[in-house]
């Protein structure tokens, strides 16, 4: 299996899109999520954090009826929460890149991401950091460490 493509994020929406994909892939087939991803982009307003952060209950209901996406309410609500968290990070740190750069070593970054964002676990944090070009350990080493600790990888 080919690893996911690394991107060079140019806006907060890029970070939110990658994080959201990690959230929706959790417990799902990555192939299903990948096949539906164009619909996710449309349904979630291009992952614009300001727009998503202001979604109303009616917007959430609209998403739950949208067959282009995986209609898991907890994950949809997590995306809204995570958009708000990224806006807070922009205000506090000046953007996602400075925030991520200030987290220090990989283990600290994973811990921070899991605390700040909803529905993000160990591997979701790894995926996010990898795709946005942050330093991560080799996949096989990290997977072995998670399995050794009794966690799903």
**What pTM value is reported for the model?**
0.91
Lowest mean pLDDT among 8-17, 35-44, 135-144: 135-144
Residues of the domain holding 40: 12-148
CB atoms within 10 A of CB 76: 26
Q: Can you read off the two tokens belonging to residue 26?
A: 């959790």
Whether 7 is in a domain gets the answer no
DSSP letter (8 states) at residue 46 = G
Whether 29 is in a domain gets the answer yes
Whether 1 is in a domain gets the answer no
Structurally, how many domains does the chain consist of? 1
Q: What is the CATH number of the domain that holds 108?
A: 1.10.340.30
Q: By the 8 A CB rule, do 74 and 81 touch?
A: no
Q: What is the pLDDT of residues 32-80, one digit of tens each?
A: 999 999 999 999 999 999 999 999 999 999 999 999 999 999 999 999 9
Alpha carbon distance 45, 52 (integer Å): 7
Alpha carbon distance 146, 95 (integer Å): 30
Whether 5 is in a domain gets the answer no
């Amino acid at each position: 299996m080919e690893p996911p493509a690394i991107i060079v994020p140019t806006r907060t929406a890029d970070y939110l899109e990658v994080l959201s994909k990690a959230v929706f892939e959790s417990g799902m087939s990555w192939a299903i999520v990948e096949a539906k991803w164009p619909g996710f982009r449309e349904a979630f307003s291009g992952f614009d954090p300001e727009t998503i952060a202001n979604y109303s209950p009616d917007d959430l209901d609209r998403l739950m009826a949208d067959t282009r996406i995986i209609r898991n309410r907890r994950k949809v609500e997590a995306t809204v929460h995570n958009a708000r968290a990224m806006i807070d990070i922009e205000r506090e740190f000046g953007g996602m890149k400075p925030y991520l750069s200030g987290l220090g070593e990989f283990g600290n970054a994973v811990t921070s991401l899991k605390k700040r964002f909803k529905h993000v676990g160990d591997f979701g944090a790894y995926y996010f950091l990898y795709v946005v070009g942050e330093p991560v350990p080799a996949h096989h080493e990290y997977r072995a460490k998670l399995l050794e600790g009794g966690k799903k990888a």
